[in-house]
Amino acid sequence: MFYLDHAATTPVRPDVVQAMLPYLGDRFGNPSSHHTVGEASASVLSDARRRVAAVFGMRPADIVFTSGGTEADNLAVKGITIGTALHRGGGRSAPMHVITTPIEHEAVLASCGYLERVHGASITRLPVDATGLVAPADIAAALRPETALVSIGYANNEVGTVQDLGAIAAVTRAAGVALHVDAVQAAGWLPLADTGADAISVAGHKIGAPPGIGVLAIRGRVPLEPLLHGGGQERERRSGTENVAGAVAIATALEIAERERPAAAARVGALRDRFIARVLAFVPSSRLTGHPVRRLPSLASFTFAGTSGESVLLELERRGIVSSSGSACAAGSDEPSHVLLALGITPELAQTAVRFSFGHDFGAGDEERAAALLDAAADAVAASVTAVRSGP
C-alpha cells in the first residue's frame, strides 16, 4: 500500500509508542492524587507540558492538553470569544464579534455557528482569493470595537495554502485582538514558534502520536472561558483527569517532528513540486487547487474535469495508492467541498477533487511512481466516462 493521506492521519511513530507505553502500564497514577503514585504522574505531565511549550516558544503554563484538534479549536473559538466578552464587562449579553474565513476547518466554522446561534455573536467570514489567501487588509477593515477574536488556519487542510501569518498577526496585535491559528496541518511542516498567534491548535494524530490527544497553546493574558467544568485541571481551563500517556506521546511527536522539520520540508517540498509538474503535464484534465507557491510542502490537490473524484480514488486504490477527496472529517458527504466552493470552483468541478498528502518518509522516486499511477487511474476513469456517454 502506498499511503498518501497523511493529512487525514499519520501512523504512530515507534519512538512515540515506546515513550508512552509505561504510562499505559504500571505508571498509571492520577496526576491529581496526593500520594507518591499520583505525584509521579504529575511530574511526568509537567515535563510533557514543558517540552510542548518549548516547541511553541511559549511558557509551560500556556499549554492546555485537549482530546484533539477539534476540541482545541472549540476551546479557542468559543472560550476566547466568551471569555473576552466576560472580561470586558457586560456578561454574556455583551456584543461579540469574530472574524474568520469560509475555508476553515469545520471545527472552527461550527464553533462560530454556535456562537452566532446561541450567543447572538456576529461572525464575519472574509472571502479568500482563488488560491485560498485572505488579505490582511481585509481583516484590518473588518475589525470592530467588539471584535474578540480572529481565527485563521495556518495552512488549509484541503488545498494546502499557507496564510501570511506575520502580516495577519501585525494587524491583530495593533488592534489588541486575539489571534487564534489552527495549525493542525502545519505542525511538522511549518514553524510553530514566533507565528505571532495568541492561541495555536494542534492534533497529535497528524504528527505521529495516537488519536485522542491535542494541544491548545494559549498565552496567559488571553481570557478563556472553559468548555468543560469539574475538577479544575489544566489551570481550570479544561477539567477532566489528564491523559498522561497522551501528553507524553504528543510531546515526543512534536519534538521529533520539529527536529526533522527543516530537512523534511525542503526535501518533500521539492518532490511535491516534481509530482505537481508531472501530473499537470501528463493528465490533461488536471488543475492544481490552492496557491502554486505558498502551500504545504506535503500536499498537492487537484480537480479532474470530466471525471468523478470518487472514481479516481477507487482506481488509485486498485493500483495501490490510498489518498482522499479532501477533509477526512467530511468523508461520506455528497456535498462539494466548502473550501473549493469558496475558491470559486464550481460544484461540479469541486466534486472531482483528489488530495495527495505526503509523510516525512516520502522519498526520491515516490513522486514519479505516484504520478504515473495517477495518470493511469485518470485515463481509466476518462475512458469509462467516454464509454458510458457513447452508449452501446
Catalytic machinery residues: 329
CA distance 159 to 181: 17
Interstrand relation of 199-203 and 178-182 (parallel, antiparallel or unpaired): parallel
DSSP secondary structure letter of residue 302: E
Residue 337 CB: number of other CB atoms within 10 A?
26
Strand residues in 62-213 grouped as ranges (E): 63-66, 97-100, 122-125, 147-153, 178-182, 199-203
E strand spans, the chain = 2-3, 63-66, 97-100, 122-125, 147-153, 178-182, 199-203, 214-218, 286-288, 299-304, 321-322, 354-357
Phi, psi (degrees; rounded to nearest 5) at 368: -70, -45
Distance of alpha carbon 105 from alpha carbon 117, whole angstroms: 18
| Distance between start and end Cα atoms, the chain | 36
User: Around Cβ 2, how many Cβ atoms within 10 Å?
Assistant: 15
Give the three cell numbers for residue 228.
Answer: 468543560
Give the rounded distance of the alpha carbon of 24 from its chain centre.
Answer: 27
Reduced to 3 states (helix: H, G, I; strand: E, B; else coil), residue 157 is coil
- Sign of the C-alpha dihedral computed for residues 380, 384, 385 and 386 taken in this order: positive
Euclidean distance between CA atoms 145 and 135, whole angstroms: 20
